[in-house]
Chain A
């Protein structure tokens, strides 16, 4: 195991329904970073690194100025894709501090969808002609991640005889766990299996409740070295392994035969287990990014948690629900029921589990895993170890 970088602070803004934030996206980002610094026992001026991912609109220069950093020594974002890189933020933060490039690095994600358009809304695609990269799908009305993942999931369910109940079980676990979490946007809104099946189709096999929400909010984590963490008041949570990447020749679009159907997480799992020296059965608590439920069950199999033939039993009968679950899973409610901060809120939850501070606290947590969004490459994962 590695453990030369540790998370010393986590912070969030309040989470809102999409378009519900009274703050701008930049204000949300600053709030989450301030809260993370306060949690760590650090002054804002001590922070010297910034990492985000996806179409980040909050420039590191603007943030470092506004928050009063004395200097900025590291700013980076992983290439390609979207929420698949939520855990890659820890990969970069680990590199930044264990390599001595910066001292206190912030990983953050902020979004205000009232101020900006919704992710995957198609709102930017109204023009008359599609650019080359989108021309293969858009003229056919194939224009959203839900549709792309539905095509993958339908074929995978067909090949392995997996039923809709497996997808339902993932959604129900997220909703059940969110009922313990007052931060969750869906707190106080329990979901039954009947409600799930009665909800409208978005694209088959995804009902409304198979899809992540759209939200406003921000989340942040602060990473430093174990040596620096000794001078800070709180628990430090080691990054024991990270993985980011993709297998060979997945295609510029995600549908070529070699990897279809697939979520591109086989190699992420293999790299993670090799670097950590552990196996899936050793994981005490799992946060797995649900863009949609289908990709979750597929990625569980690709990472080695179970075989496709066993996945309905693996996720069914409440085996993912609550702190005493066979595998405590998405314990804050995840993207489906806590808030969709593009998965970074789930990395925060993975840290809370190690610190013993979750609202759905698993017992005796030593290995806490957060997996980025399946179905898009490069995938990413981060494994946290026992607090020091």
Chain B
């Protein structure tokens, strides 16, 4: 799908820690293979046990809106035609304690509510440096 804030809007610069999240086409969250702790953003060791056996696991791709806010003031020139838009914090099913950031798409901006169930959808883009195909997670209403 095309991008919520426009196909020319800022892209994530890919690194080893964020490549799974932004390219897999599924919700990839980092887990500790030693103690089972889920953490986000990913980092170089486990914050619960300091273990280094970390891997990304595929979560079901559903979640819940923990908070949301309608943005009216465009901070970037590319957003002048996009306001108001909705930013959201979404708790990720299958990853205890983990929230991610995103937009709630495919709905009226005034309809997004705390507690709303959502499911992941993916915006397509291409990393300008490596040519890698990006699949940027977004969220749409699921109820």
CA distance A129 to B18 in the complex (A): 13
Q: Are B22 and A135 in contact (CB under 8 A)?
A: yes
Determine if A129 and B12 form an interchain contact, defined as CB atoms under 8 angstroms apart: yes
Contact present for A260 and B89 (CB under 8 Å):
yes
Report the minimal beta-carbon distance from B82 to chain A, rounded to whole angstroms: 7
**How many residue-residue contacts, CB under 8 A, span A and B?**
138
A residues in contact with B84, CB < 8 Å: 201
Distance between Cα atoms of A132 and B103 in the complex (Å)? 19
- Interface residues as binary, B32-69 with A (CB distance below 8 Å gives 1, 0 otherwise): 00000000110100010000000000000000001111
CB interface residues, A 137-162, toward B, < 8 Å: 137-144, 146-147, 150-152, 154-155, 158
Stretch at the interface among A118-126, A299-307, A323-331, A339-347: A118-126
B13 contacts A256, C-beta separation under 8 Å: no
Question: How many whole Å from B15's CB to the nearest CB in chain A?
Answer: 4
Residue B91 at the chain A interface, CB threshold 8 Å: yes
Contact partners of A126 in chain B: CB under 8 A: 76-77
Determine the distance from Cα of A167 to Cα of B138 in the docked complex, in whole angstroms: 31
In the complex the two chains form, is A128's CB within 8 Å of B71's CB?
no
B24 sits at the interface (CB 8 A):
no
* Bound CA span A245–B70, Å: 31
A91-148 with Cβ < 8 A to chain B: 120-122, 125-133, 135-144, 146-147
Q: A129-B128, A130-B12, A256-B98 are in contact. Are A140 and B5 (CB under 8 A)?
A: yes
On whether the beta carbons of B67 and A136 are closer than 8 Å, the reply is no
In the complex, the answer to whether B97 meets A141 with C-beta atoms within 8 Å is: no
Shortest CB–CB separation between residue A110 and chain B, in angstroms? 24
Whether A140 contacts B103 in the complex (CB less than 8 A), given A129-B11, A202-B72, A203-B70, comes out as: yes
Interface footprint category on A: 35 or more
Do B9 and A136 have beta carbons less than 8 Å apart? no
Closest to A156 in B: B67
Name the B residues within 8 Å of A257 (CB-CB).
66, 91, 97-99
Task: Return B80 CB to nearest CB of chain A, in Å.
Answer: 12
A258 on the B face (CB < 8 A): yes
Most buried by B among A205, A249, A256: A256
Residues of chain A within 8 A (CB-CB) of B101 are 136-137, 140, 142, 253, 255
Distance (whole angstroms) from the CB of A138 to the closest CB of chain B? 5
With a cutoff of 8 Å between Cβ atoms, the chain B residues found around residue A253 in the complex are: 41, 101
Asked if B73 and A139 make an inter-chain contact with CB atoms under 8 angstroms apart, the answer reads no
**Contact at B89–A132, with CB atoms within 8 Å?**
no
- A255 with B70: CB separation less than 8 A: no
Contacts of B89-143 to chain A: CB distance below 8 A = 89, 91, 97-103, 114, 127-129, 136, 138
What residues on B are CB-neighbors of A154 within 8 Å? 67-69, 114
Which of B14, B76, B103 is in CB contact (< 8 Å) with A122? B76
Find out whether the CB atom of A141 lies under 8 angstroms from the CB atom of B72. Answer: no
What residues of chain B lie closer than 8 Å to A155, measured between beta carbons?
66-67, 89, 114
Complex partner residue of A130 from B11, B77, B89, CB under 8 angstroms: B11
- Chain B residue numbers with a CB within 8 Å of A202 are 72-73
Report the Cα distance A204→B70, complex, angstroms. 6
Q: Which residue of B lies closest to A132 (CB)?
A: B15
State whether the Cβ of B10 lies closer than 8 Å to any Cβ in chain A: yes
Q: Cβ of A136 and Cβ of B41 under 8 Å apart?
A: yes
A232-274 near B? 1/0 per residue, CB < 8 Å: 0000000000000000010111011110110000000000000
Residues of B within 8 Å of A144, CB to CB, are 75
* A279 contacts chain B at the CB level, 8 A cutoff: no
- Give CA–CA (A348, B11) in the complex, Å: 42
Residues of chain A within 8 A (CB-CB) of B40 are: 136, 251, 256
Distance A147 CA – B68 CA, assembled complex (angstroms)? 10
Bound complex: CA A64 to CA B60 (Å): 58
A128→B75 contact, CB < 8 A:
no
Most buried by A among B13, B69, B71, B77: B69
Q: Which chain B residues have a beta carbon within 8 Å of chain A's beta carbons?
A: 4-5, 9-15, 17-18, 22, 40-41, 43, 47, 66-73, 75-77, 79, 82, 84-85, 87-89, 91, 97-103, 114, 127-129, 136, 138
Q: 14 interchain pairs (CB within 8 A)?
A: A122-B76, A129-B10, A129-B14, A129-B128, A130-B11, A130-B12, A132-B13, A140-B103, A141-B75, A141-B76, A141-B82, A144-B75, A203-B87, A204-B69
The 10 closest A-B pairs by CB, nearest first: A129-B13, A135-B12, A155-B67, A122-B75, A150-B69, A201-B72, A132-B15, A202-B73, A151-B67, A142-B87
